Structure 1
C-alpha cells in the first residue's frame, strides 16, 4: 500500500511523544549499487551516524535496486513513496531537463572543482527546481569516470564511430552520437549483461561503477579519468523534503551532522576511486589507455557543438544555467 512517508514519520513521532515511547521512526533509502560501492558506503555512514545519535530514527537501506529500479527512484521520492535515495541526478533529466547539466561533457575540471560547484549559485538554482518536486539534497557528491571498449581503446571521438555505446545521460549520448556512435540507453547496473550478450561495444560511466559491476571482465581496454577527465556526474543523496521537515529538531540535527560527515568522506573517496579502478583493471589484464589534452579538447569541442547547443536550445533559461556553471572557477 502506497502512502506518504512524511505522514508516517509524523504519526510515529506524535505517538511516541504522547505515549513516552522509544519507538523509532523508519526511513527507507533506495539505491542501485552493490554494498561495496562508495555510494552505498555514503548512505551507510548517514544511517550509522543517525542510529548512533539515538534520536528514535532508523534508516533502512535497500541496495542493488531491490526496492525501486535504478531509473525509477526520483518520482517515488518526489511523491513521498520513498524517503531517501542516492541517485545520478541526470537520470531524472527526462522530467527536469535542467538536471542534464549535472552530466555535461568537459564541464567539471576535477574533483575540487566539482566540490566548488556543489556550493555555487548554479547548484542553488538546481536545488530550487528540486524543491518544486518536494526533493532536497542531503549529501552532495560528484564522481569522475571514463571509457571502456570491448575490442578497442577509446580516447578520441573517432574511436566510437560505428560502436553501440552506452552513456549515462542525454548530454553524453548527444556528444557520442555526434561522433558516430549508436546509442543504447540503460542504467549502469545493466551494463555487464549488455556487454556479455554483445549488445554493447563501448561504455562511458563512473570509475566506481566500472569496478563495482566488474566491467573489467568484459573489456579489452580502459580509459580512466586522469589528469583530464571528460566525465563527471553529480550523484547526491536526496531526501523527500516533506519527510525531512516532519522530523523533530533532534532528528534533523542528527541527519545534518551525519550528512556533513558522509559528504567529506564522499569527496575524499571520489578522488581515490579513479586510481583504484586502474589497479583493478590492470590486475585483470585490461589495457590502460590515457586521454591526452588534445583528445580531451576534441571531445569538448564536439560537445559544445552538440550537447551544449542542444541544452541551450531546448531548456528554458538553459543559457543562463550553463553560464552559471561555467562561471565557477
Structure 2
C-alpha cells in the first residue's frame, strides 16, 4: 500500500468523521452589544439553538458584550462580510444610511402591534432595499419601547417638559423635546443615574430595558411607561450579511428562515412583557406611574410634525416619501 494511498485514505476517514459529528459544519459569527440576560441576546440564542437542532450542518457562534465589535460598529463589518450576523439598533447606522434614522422617530409607532404592522409594510420594504444595497438582509424584525421618567412632575404631554432638563434617546427626540421647551443634555444611558442623583438631569427618555437595568427607579419620582400607547420605539432587528445567506444551502437557508420566524413572534411577546416588568419594578419602588393617552400621543406627533419630521425630510434624499409611507401605516 503506497504512502499516497494511505494519506488519501486517512483524509477520507477524517472527512467522514467530520461529517458524522458536525465538526465541519458551516459556522456563522453573530456579534452584539448586550449581556446574555438581555432579550436581544435571547433572540439570537433562540435562532442559534433552533438552527443547530435542524441538523443542517450550520452553527451560529454568538459574541455578546461587544467582545467582537463595539456597540455602534457592527453594521460596517456586517456589510463588508467581515461579520455574518448581528442584532442591532438600525438607527445606529444612520450615519451611513440617513434613512435608518426613521427607525427611531417620535410618533411613528404607537404600540407593539403597530410596530409589527410597520415591520410588514411597504415602508420597511423600502428600508430593506437600502439594506440590500449594503449587502444586508433582515431575519428578525422587532421594536423595543421606552418611556419617560422625571423628578419634576409626570411627563405625558409636550407641556410637561417645559423648562425641564432631560436626556433624550436619539437626535429626533432631542429636536422634538427642545421644540416643547425642554433643555437637552446628551449622555449615554449608563450616565443617567448619576446625572439624576446630582441634579444635572430632571428627567430622562430611554428604553424600558435601560430604565430597569440602570435602576433608575431609585432616582425618579414619576415614570411614564410604554403601555397601550407609547412615544419611544426603536427598531432592533436581527440582520445577516446577504452574500453569506445566499451562499448557504437551500436546507440551511430554510432552517435559518424558520428559526427567525419563530424568534420574531417570541421577540414581540417578550418586548411587551419587558415593558410590564419595568412598570411593576417602578411601582414596587414607590414611583408614581403616569399613563400616556392617545390624545397625549397625538399632541406629541403634532409637535414632531413641526420639529423632527421636517428636519429629517430636509436632510435625507427621498426622506419625505419615506416618512409619508411610515405615517400611512395605521
1:250 aligned onto 2:236: no
> Are 1:142 and 2:143 an aligned pair?
yes
After superposing the two structures, state which structure 1 stretch, 256-265 or 241-250, moved more.
Answer: 241-250
Paired position in structure 1 for 2:6: none
Q: Which secondary structure does the structure 2 equivalent of 1:66 belong to?
A: coil
Q: Which residue of 1 aligns with 2:227?
A: 226
Residues 74 and 281 (structure 1), Cα distance of their counterparts in 2 relative to 1, 3 Å cut: same
Give the root-mean-square deviation of aligned CA atoms. Answer: 2.5
Other-structure match for 1:104: 105
Residues 110-141 of structure 1, C-alpha deviations (whole Å, 9 max, x = no match): 22221111111111100000111111101001
* Structure 2: gaps spanning 5 or more residues: 1-10
Q: Is the 8 A contact 1:37 1:212 kept in 2?
A: no
- Alpha carbons of structure 1 residues 101 and 266: separation in structure 2 relative to 1, 3 Å: same
Find the counterpart in structure 1 of residue 213 from structure 2: 212
Q: CA separation of 1:179/1:67 partners in 2, compared to 1, >3 Å: closer, same or farther?
A: farther
In 1, the alpha carbon distance for the partners of 2:318 and 2:186 equals 26
The SS at the match of 2:71 is coil
Show the counterpart of 1:131: 132
Equivalent position of 2:293 in the other structure? 292
Distance 1:197-1:206 versus aligned 2 partners, 3 A rule: same
Structure 2 residue matching 1:71: 3-state secondary structure: helix
Which stretch shifts more, 113-122 or 192-201? 192-201
Change (3 A) 1:198 1:95: farther
- Work out the number of aligned pairs and report it: 314
- What residue is the counterpart of 2:71 in the other structure? 70
In 2, Cα distance between the equivalents of 1:200 and 1:230? 20
What is the aligned partner in structure 1 of residue 326 from structure 2?
325
Indicate whether 1:60 and 2:61 are aligned.
yes
Counterpart Cα distance in 1 of 2:32 and 2:200: 25
TM-score (normalizing by structure 2): 0.86
Question: Paired residue for 1:114?
Answer: 115
Deviations along 1:245-271, one digit per CA (max 9) or x if unpaired, are: 222222222111110110010112222
- Which stretch has the larger CA shift, 64-73 or 36-45? 64-73
Kindly indicate whether the alpha-carbon contact (under 8 Å) linking 2:141 and 2:237 is maintained by their aligned counterparts in 1. yes
How many angstroms does 1:319 deviate by? Answer: 1.4
- Write the deviation string for residues 95-118 of structure 1: whole angstroms up to 9, x where unpaired: 211111112211112222211111
User: Which runs of no fewer than 5 residues in structure 1 stay unpaired?
Assistant: 1-14
Q: CA deviation at 1:185?
A: 4.2
Q: Secondary structure at the match of 2:146?
A: strand
Do the aligned partners of 1:165 and 1:201 also contact (CA within 8 Å) in 2?
yes
1:153 is matched with 154
Asked if residue 265 in structure 1 is aligned to residue 266 in structure 2, the reply is yes
- Rounded to whole Å, the distance in 1 between the matches of 2:209 and 2:113 is 18
Whose Rg is larger?
2
Cα distance in 2, alignment partners of residues 38 and 19 from structure 1: 38
**1:87 corresponds to:** 88
Contact 2:111 2:227 in 1 (8 A): no
CA distance in 2, matches of 1:51, 1:107: 37
